[in-house]
Chain A
Amino acid sequence: MSAQILGLALTLGQLMLGLGLLCATYRLMVGPRAQDRVLGLDSLYVNAMLMLLVFGIRTGKTVYFEAALIIAILGFAATMALAKFLMRGEVIE
């Protein structure tokens, strides 16, 4: 009973996060200017990190949590570098 409730809720949550990934991908591919694409990429990796956390709850393993932490850290560095590039035209001055 409880495993069925949890399984249904986890499937619904993964579907919602997948729709969010699709919205972010649309903004990444179509977005009229470069800053919209960077924003879409940022939203894409946040949704992917949440998806990994939900997957970790479903399987009961902690490996996915470590992957989510690495995505959070590297995504921050990537968005930071892209914003710096949009501002200056180069990343390291």
Chain B
Amino acid sequence: MNMAPDLPLWAAIAVALLVLGGAAMALIGSIGLLRFDNFYNRLHPPTLGTSSGTVLICAASILCFSILGTRLSVHEVLVVLFMTVTTPVTFMLLARAALYRDRIEGNPDVPKSDG
């Protein structure tokens, strides 16, 4: 419980706000995933966690480890870069797969084709 590292006060407040913001973003995204009623609506909220949640928590980690190690530590940028690049690819592919399956089955509530 009381294992938190010993940072100066301003850094502790900044890290606390960044972690709370990132966790709140991830929680809002997951609640949206739980509550929306359609797969094509449900595809949108998790990106809140993968974009702003990841950015805020990685910023908190960069700040914390930069002050603890007294030098700039930037490997968390790798996680941000990787999530930002891969999330649109996976979700586009998943949406195309779902659209394909729905059109094969002839479900009525499928988005219209534009062709």
Q: Which residues of A contact B (CB under 8 A)?
A: 1-14, 16-17, 19-21, 23-24, 26-27, 33, 35-36, 38-40, 42-43, 46-47, 49-50, 53-54, 56-60, 62, 65, 68-69, 72-73, 76, 79-80, 83-84, 86-87
Contact of B5 with A60 in the complex, beta carbons under 8 Å: yes
**Residue from A8, A47, A68, A83 in contact with B79 in the complex, judged by beta carbons closer than 8 Å:** A68
Contact of B101 with A80 in the complex, beta carbons under 8 Å: no
User: How many angstroms from the CA of A40 to the CA of B39 in the assembled complex?
Assistant: 11
In the complex, chain A residues whose CB is within 8 Å of the CB of B83:
46, 72
Given contacts A12-B23, A72-B79, contact A23 B4 (CB under 8 A): no
Give the number of A-B contacts (CB < 8 Å).
182
Interface size range on B against A: 35 or more
Q: How far is the CB of A5 from chain B (nearest CB, A)?
A: 5
**Residue from B8, B22, B91 in contact with A2 in the complex, judged by beta carbons closer than 8 Å:** B8
In the complex, chain A residues whose CB is within 8 Å of the CB of B24:
16
In the complex, chain B residues whose CB is within 8 Å of the CB of A76:
82, 86, 90
Contact of B12 with A57 in the complex, beta carbons under 8 Å: no
Query: Which A residue sits closest to B6, measured CB to CB?
Result: A3
Contact of B98 with A2 in the complex, beta carbons under 8 Å: no
Give 1 or 0 for each of B81-93: 1 = CB within 8 Å of chain A CB: 0110010011101
User: How many angstroms from the CA of A13 to the CA of B60 in the assembled complex?
Assistant: 12
> Top 7 A-B pairs ranked by shortest CB distance?
A9-B16, A20-B30, A2-B12, A13-B23, A23-B30, A7-B4, A16-B23
